[in-house]
Amino acid sequence: MVKKLKYPKAIVNWPEDERPREKLLKFGADKLSDTELLAILLRVGSNGKSAVDMARELINEFGTFRNIGSKSFAELKRKGLGIAKIAQIKAAIEIGKRFLKEKSLTKIKVETSKDIVDYFIPYLRDMKKEIFKVVLLDGKNKIIKDVTISEGTLTKSIVHPREVIKEAIVESSAALILIHNHPSGEPQPSQDDIEITNRIISACELVGIRVLDHVIIGDNNYFSFFNEGLIKEGEDGKMG
């Protein structure tokens, strides 16, 4: 006699008030747990597990959505997820990041390095390779846009001052801030970081563009050239 496997009760057969999707519609998304929100993204379970079971395992394994989002397709696939489910999770996390960016972008006036850190850290802290960006500012230190200048390897990106200058001139920027990440999580600048910063400052001085700061993003920490006295903006040493 073949022994039948006992599968968990399908979510569709749960009491309505316990189903994640119905709870969201009735009480609002903010009332759901991380597991329930993730289960809605997964939609259905597999291999005898409900979507909630799968979501709970992922949360227990990785702890946070940030950690889940930082995992590669291969790593998540080893946890029993198919390509479609992984794509859904990746897309949802990216939407969240872009929402934060859109919310923050609305004419930010940069007064401290923290203004830049709060804006970029959700994106740059989990990058597996070094990304070098320039944040272009108008005459009142309000963000015009940010531009990726270089994408490099795990330890290094190649940055040419002319690329920074070109983007600044195209947007008629009065000032700019340099920012890049260290995938190692340690934000202390290397000798290369210091040298390229000085080269860019010198190039920008020739065309009358101020370099306010160079911020290096680590793992929930950062290094500011301005804060550490490596860049002095104006005679009084104040940013802007």
User: Tokens 């002095």 — which residue?
Assistant: 232
Q: Which tokens sit at 86?
A: 């992984």
Mean residue pLDDT of the chain comes to 85
Burial of 114 (0-12, 13-18, 19+ CB in 10 A): middle
State residue 174's pLDDT score. Answer: 96
The per-residue pLDDT for 220 is: 85
Closest CA to 182 of 227, 121, 225: 121
Number of Cα atoms under 13 Å in the Cβ half of residue 131: 16
User: For residues 136 and 173, is the Cβ–Cβ distance under 8 A?
Assistant: yes
pLDDT score recorded for residue 50 = 85
76 beta partners:
none
The model scores a pTM over 0.75? no
Residue partners of 179: CB distance under 8 A and separation at least 6? 116, 120, 124, 132, 133, 134, 135, 146, 214, 215, 216, 217
pLDDT for residue 240:
60
**Confidence band, pLDDT 50/70/90 cuts, at residue 162:** very high
- Is the pLDDT assigned to residue 8 strictly greater than 50? no
Whether residue 128 has pLDDT greater than 60: yes
pLDDT band at 167 (very low <50, low <70, confident <90, very high): very high
Region 169-194 average pLDDT: 95
How confident is the model at residue 5, as a pLDDT? 40
Give pLDDT, residue 51. 87
Total residue length of the chain: 240
pLDDT digits (tens, 9 = 90+) for 43-97: 888 877 888 889 999 999 998 888 898 888 899 998 889 999 999 999 998 888 7
Asked whether residue 191 carries a pLDDT value surpassing 50, the answer given is yes
Would you say residue 2 has pLDDT above 70? no
pLDDT for 109 equals: 81
pLDDT confidence of residue 87: 92
Query: What is the token pair recorded at 189?
Result: 């600048």
Q: Give CA angle at 105 (102, 106), nearest 5°.
A: 100
Q: What are residue 107's phi and psi, to 5 degrees?
A: 45, 50
The SS3 of residue 49 is strand
